Amino acid sequence: MRPEDIVFATVMLPLLGAALAFCAKLLPKGRVASVVEYTGALVGLGLPPLVLILLFPVVFSGQSVSGVVGQWFVGIGITFRFDALAWLVNILGFTIGTAAWVYSLGAGPKGPAFTGVFLIQTAALCATIMTTDLFNLFVCLEIMGITSYVLIPTSRKAGATLASFSYLMVSASAMVFFLLGTYGFYRLTGALSYEGISNGLQAISSSDTVLSIVSLALLVSAIAIRVAVMPLYGWLPDAHALAPHAVSAVLSGVLIKTPLFALSRILFLFPAGMQVGELMGIAGGVTAVLGVVIALSQEDAKRLLAYHSISQIGYVVAAWGMAISIGVDSPAGTSLMVAAFLHAFYHALFKGLLFLSIGTTVDVAKERNVYILRDSIGKLRAAGERIPVTFMCFVIGALAISATPPLNGFVSKTAITYAMKGSLHYYLLSAAAVGTVASFIKLSRIYWPTGKRGRLHPELGVLPGSSANPQTKAYGLVARLTAQSVLAVLCIAGGLAAPHILTIIGTLMSRGGTNIAVPPILYSTDNLLKTGVTTLGGILLFFVATSKIGSRVLHTIRTRPRSFQGLFVSFSLGTAVLAAFLVVGKI
Amino acid sequence: MVERALLLCLLLIGFWGVVAKKNIIKKIFGLNILNAAAVMLFILEGNRIGSEAPILESGLAQVVDPIPQALMLTAIVIGVCVTALALALAVHLYQITGSFDIETIRERIQDET
């Protein structure tokens, strides 16, 4: 079997699965419909990983599968490229996607329509990372966007509809500007494939340079909205906090990272790409710090997690931007890129785990306020969970995000800071790490026992499928706990098997080993000492934050004015700053 | 040149509608105007090398560049999908809050939670 023949299966199989799911929607509800729907999910989420296994030898040897869709002529057809980057992002997408879908069987939203839209989103992810055609990227991003606007309000919360509407308006407007950027490049070079544009740009006159820079700025800011890097993050907290738990896990695990890695394909080739990387790297570092400060001030458990997604994507963007600004072909650049991907992947695992376990907890307790909710272990037990699996999952996730060895978060954060030692980013990210520890101590209070004085909650929710609720089928609870446990095991395994994983990703990213990335030394005294200091700093910060003055400051941050217009103002300003930065750099 | 200036005006009107109008239906109008401006800009670009419709018949020489037209067909379809979805969300918001005003909607939803 030639790799060219199967490479599209990663996109087509989820689409086929979606078609099956929609067929199931046409059938009358019952056993047949369920079988068709689950077959669709199996085809869409279960088979593509097998295809990826078949493709592994190809990408591991540094080759890539590229060509034109449908055997059209080069210059007319849509070009694509399936390489190590695409393979890695696919693995990320299918791992989290499968776990989230299994969780949704227990927690909702259920039904063939949800499965269908979810699978279309998965297909769009795979297509986004494979394409090397500017207009095709626009289409893929729009499909990804449209499916998220549909999935966010399925939680049936009023706020979720508003969040989805705001996201739709800001993102759809930004995509019009993306289209204008595409127009600029087409006008200058007459090409749409990245390679064609990059070749064409070498021949343009200096008077056209400004147009090419403005076009690039428009493309980058439209994508930066999806990535939710500061200052374009405004849509994310509400959308991620109010979406169904399974959708939240995918949104913050996969959907904010795929556009970032797809953008790197453009920046590798275009002349001003390095400068874009430089500016975005700084924005990423700032995002990491500001995100965690706002997270620390939140009272809604899921919104706290949502702000942490912003903060953690800041880590990824900082490393990614620095890698591009120093050139990914240098060993240092490759190390940074490896670290960026590793953190993106590991963040997806532990943040997915946190969203799911906190989701189960708040469903049971029917309370999301971190300041009110206490003794969740007892509540979960009362709801029918005999072994505190959810609590253990939360602890693993919280320790992983706080970078505690030997969990995966320690590995990826160490890999990032190791590669950028001494730079501005390094200090920003170290500060963010302290805030992360503090805010997870704050979040973990929802599990603290309250003793006898604790309030009793007679109106507790009951987990569907548990022994306390015999009417519902048993698979609900099993599905939830399976998804959580699998992610928890992956978090631990990702930490323990770190040396092997780093070697594999390093080889993949260095395109066949021409410029092997230097693997970081993980368990050196320095790193362990730094972890200890960070943890102590976090505990200290937690006490400062709970003091009277601290609470007042956090209250001010939490209740800062946020408006619909603000989303657009920050988009316009962000684009203007980026364009100005690039123009100044050129002259 | 005058066409481009007019399209810029259209673009700015659309953007202003999305940002400044309080009524969410008018915001959706704004989004459509914004989209239309981008579509027409592409069509204008294809017009630079010829003006005949790109349907290949004998005796046609000066056809427009067909690629922008093909692209915009896709962009229009996507625009329609997004508009339909935005309207569905607007109706849902109206059912929940009884208002199309973005500020009122935000206040009423915050009061609920």
- With helix as H, strand as E and coil as C, how does A471-502 read? CCCCHHHHHHHHHHHHHHHHHHHHHHCHHHHH
Q: Is a pLDDT exceeding 90 seen at residue A74?
A: no
Which residue in chain B is spatially nearest to A181 when comparing CA positions?
B38
A27 reaches B (C-beta below 8 A): no
Tokens standing for residue A80: 């694509």
CB pairs under 8 A between A and B: 86
Question: What integer pLDDT is reported at residue A420 of this predicted model?
Answer: 82
Q: Which of residues 61-80 of A touch B (CB under 8 A)?
A: 76
The phi, psi pair for A405, rounded to 5°, reads -70, 150
A2-45 tens-digit pLDDT: 777 788 889 999 999 999 999 999 988 888 888 999 999 999 99
Query: Between the CA of residue B102 and those of A242, B17, B35, what are the distances in Å?
Result: 18, 13, 21
Question: What integer pLDDT is reported at residue A299 of this predicted model?
Answer: 85
Query: Between the CA of residue A346 and those of A45, A54, A215, what are the distances in Å?
Result: 20, 23, 33
Most B CBs within 10 A among A165, A175, A562, hence the mutation to make, goes to A165
pLDDT in tens, chain B (113 residues): 888 899 999 999 999 999 999 999 999 999 999 999 999 999 988 888 877 777 777 777 788 888 888 899 999 999 999 999 999 999 999 998 888 998 888 888 887 76
Q: Please tell me which of the candidates A169, A179, A182 has its beta carbon nearest to residue B18.
A: A169
Question: What integer pLDDT is reported at residue A512 of this predicted model?
Answer: 53
What mean pLDDT comes out for the span A532-559? 85
Structural domain boundaries of chain A?
A: 272-449+464-546
Which residue in chain B is spatially nearest to A183 when comparing CA positions?
B42
Question: What integer pLDDT is reported at residue A503 of this predicted model?
Answer: 83
Verify cis geometry, omega within 30 degrees of 0, for the bond prior to A244. no
Contact A364, A379 (CB under 8 A): yes
Question: What integer pLDDT is reported at residue A16 of this predicted model?
Answer: 95
Q: What is the DSSP string of A436-462?
A: HHHHHHHHHGGGS--GGGSPP-TT---
Which residue in chain B is spatially nearest to A75 when comparing CA positions?
B67
Question: What integer pLDDT is reported at residue A519 of this predicted model?
Answer: 64
Give pairs for A14-17: CB < 8 Å, separation 24+: A14/A44, A14/A45, A14/A48, A14/A119, A14/A120, A14/A122, A14/A123, A14/A126, A15/A44, A15/A119, A15/A120, A15/A123, A16/A40, A16/A43, A16/A44, A17/A41, A17/A42, A17/A43, A17/A44, A17/A45, A17/A115, A17/A119
Are B68 and A186 within 8 A, CB to CB?
yes
Verify cis geometry, omega within 30 degrees of 0, for the bond prior to A406. yes
Distance between A264 CA and the closest CA of chain B, angstroms? 23
Query: Between the CA of residue A276 and those of A215, A575, B28, what are the distances in Å?
Result: 12, 11, 32
A472-488 tens-digit pLDDT: 455 677 888 888 888 88
Tokens standing for residue B77: 């379809």
d(CA A423, CA A472): 56
Directed axis angle between helix A158-189 and helix B24-46, to 10°? Answer: 10
Give pairs for B58-67: CB < 8 Å, separation 24+: B67/A76, B67/A186, B67/A192
d(CA B78, CA B91): 20
Please name every residue paired with A67 in a beta bridge, in sequence order, or none if there are none: A80
d(CA A210, CA A368): 49
Cβ count near A30 (within 10 Å): 8
Q: What share of chain A is helix, strand, coil (3-state, %, to 5)?
A: 75, 0, 20
Are B74 and A176 within 8 A, CB to CB?
no
Directed axis angle between helix A84-107 and helix A47-60, to 10°? Answer: 160
d(CA A257, CA B69): 31
Residues with Cβ < 8 Å from A126, sequence gap 6 or more? Answer: A10, A11, A14, A48, A86, A90, A93
Q: Which residues of B touch A161 (CB under 8 A)?
A: 89, 92-93, 96
Burial track B7-44 (b if 16+ CB lie within 10 A, e otherwise):
beebbeebbebbbebeebeebbbbbbbbbbbbbbbbee
Structural domain boundaries of chain B?
A: 2-52+61-112
Question: What integer pLDDT is reported at residue A470 of this predicted model?
Answer: 45
Q: Quick one: what percent of chain A has pLDDT higher than 90?
A: 31
The phi, psi pair for A386, rounded to 5°, reads -70, -45
Quick one: DSSP state of residue A191? -
A162 reaches B (C-beta below 8 A): yes
Tokens standing for residue A235: 């849509």
Contact B102, B91 (CB under 8 A): no
Are A162 and B105 within 8 A, CB to CB?
yes
Question: What integer pLDDT is reported at residue A455 of this predicted model?
Answer: 47
A433-453 tens-digit pLDDT: 888 888 888 888 888 877 644
Which residue in chain A is spatially nearest to B28 when comparing CA positions?
A169
Residue-level length of chain A: 587
d(CA A565, CA A343): 32
d(CA A476, CA A45): 19
Burial class from Cβ neighbours inside 10 Å (0-12, 13-18, 19+) for residue A2 reads exposed
Q: Is a pLDDT exceeding 90 seen at residue A565?
A: no
Residue-level length of chain B: 113
Q: ∠ at Cα B42 (B39, B44), nearest 5°?
A: 110
The owner of tokens 């996969």 is A254
Contact A95, A43 (CB under 8 A): no
Q: Please tell me which of the candidates A146, A187, A568 has its beta carbon nearest to residue B85.
A: A146
Please name every residue paired with A133 in a beta bridge, in sequence order, or none if there are none: A193
Region label for A228, one of left (φ > 0), alpha (ψ between -120 and 50) or beta (otherwise):
left
Q: Please tell me which of the candidates A76, A158, A164 has its beta carbon nearest to residue B112.
A: A158
Tell how many helices (H) and how many strands (E) occur in chain A. Answer: 25, 2
Distance between A460 CA and the closest CA of chain B, angstroms? 18
Q: Which of residues 13-72 of B touch A (CB under 8 A)?
A: 14-15, 18-20, 24, 27, 31, 34-35, 37-38, 41-42, 45, 67-68, 71
A377-424 tens-digit pLDDT: 777 777 777 778 888 888 899 988 888 888 888 888 888 888 887 788
pLDDT band of A250, cuts 50, 70, 90: very high
A347-362 tens-digit pLDDT: 999 999 999 999 888 8
Q: Quick one: fold of B2-52+61-112?
A: Helix Hairpins (1.10.287)
Burial track A275-296 (b if 16+ CB lie within 10 A, e otherwise):
bbbbbbbbbbbbbbbbbbbbbb
Q: Please tell me which of the candidates A173, A183, A568 has its beta carbon nearest to residue B41.
A: A183
Q: Which residues of B touch A180 (CB under 8 A)?
A: 38, 41
Closest CA to A289 of A18, A541, A20, A28: A541
B102 reaches A (C-beta below 8 A): yes
pLDDT band of A514, cuts 50, 70, 90: low
The phi, psi pair for A297, rounded to 5°, reads -85, -10
Q: Which residues of A touch B24 (CB under 8 A)?
A: 165
Cβ count near A4 (within 10 Å): 12
Q: Please tell me which of the candidates B24, B34, B45 has its beta carbon nearest to residue A186.
A: B45
Distance spanning both ends of chain A, measured CA to CA: 51
What mean pLDDT comes out for the span A120-143? 93
Are B31 and A161 within 8 A, CB to CB?
no
Most B CBs within 10 A among A140, A564, A565, A573, hence the mutation to make, goes to A564
Closest CA to A115 of A217, A190, A39, A41: A41
Closest CA to A293 of A29, A508, A557: A557
Tokens standing for residue B58: 């004998």
d(CA A140, CA B81): 14
Q: Please tell me which of the candidates B38, B81, B109 has its beta carbon nearest to residue A159.
A: B109
Question: What integer pLDDT is reported at residue B89 of this predicted model?
Answer: 94
ipTM greater than cut 0.85: yes
Region label for A270, one of left (φ > 0), alpha (ψ between -120 and 50) or beta (otherwise):
beta
